[in-house]
Amino acid sequence: MSKELQELKNIKYKSMILSNNSHNNLSPREINDTANINDFLEKEKKQHTGEHWSKLDKTIKMQKIRAYVEKYSIDNSLNQKDEKSLLVFLTTSLDQKKLSKTKDVVYDKTTGVIKSIPSLLFNQTHKKFTLKRCEKRQSTMRSLAPKRANKTVRTGSRPGSASASKNNSNHNSDDESSGAK
């Protein structure tokens, strides 16, 4: 009985921290009864059913994934071996945080059931499951500044430069000499 009471206190403390609520409806004296413990646990379960996929605990996510694997195997007529490989693949994907975001899994929070995993693909030839990349990432080259054109060095004279003034003075002297004739 003391273990159950300690577990209940731990659950109560955890729920208090998660919900930022410093008091609960049940006092410690009322919790001693096993019926009240079951009621308290049912209230906790109902409280956590309306959460988004990203807010669920890992153990609850695993339970939901197991239910989804069973449903998926029935819908797609997978054999036991493929069903087991799917379960292993999804658990490793969950461990690697590939199924942690809300957009990774279509989850109905009212019923608490995974509707689909949009990025999940099954390769029929190799009998392997994969998660395709759904993120449409922009190329890093597009984010960079435009490339500058290299300036070409011209050998010809430009107006205002020292060599241009020499050439102009030579041209002017030719013009003057031709005009004097």
Q: Is residue 118 part of a domain?
A: yes
Question: With bands split at pLDDT 50, 70 and 90, how would you rate the model's confidence at 158?
Answer: low
Tell me the DSSP string of 109-164.
TTTTEEEE-TTEEEETTTTEEEE-----PPPHHHHSPPPPPPPPPP-S--TTSHHH
Lowest mean pLDDT among 17-26, 66-75, 128-137, 166-175: 166-175
What pLDDT was estimated at residue 181? 45
Kindly state the percentage of the chain with pLDDT values over 90: 28
Residue 40 has pLDDT above 50, yes or no: yes
The reply to whether 16 falls in a domain is yes
Q: Which of 120, 33, 127 is nearest to 80 (CA)?
A: 127
Domain co-membership, 42 together with 107: no
| pLDDT digits 0-9 by tens, 58-75 | 988 999 999 999 999 999
Tell whether the model's pLDDT for residue 160 goes beyond 70: no
> Do residue 96 and residue 39 come from a single domain?
no
Range of 67's domain? 55-131
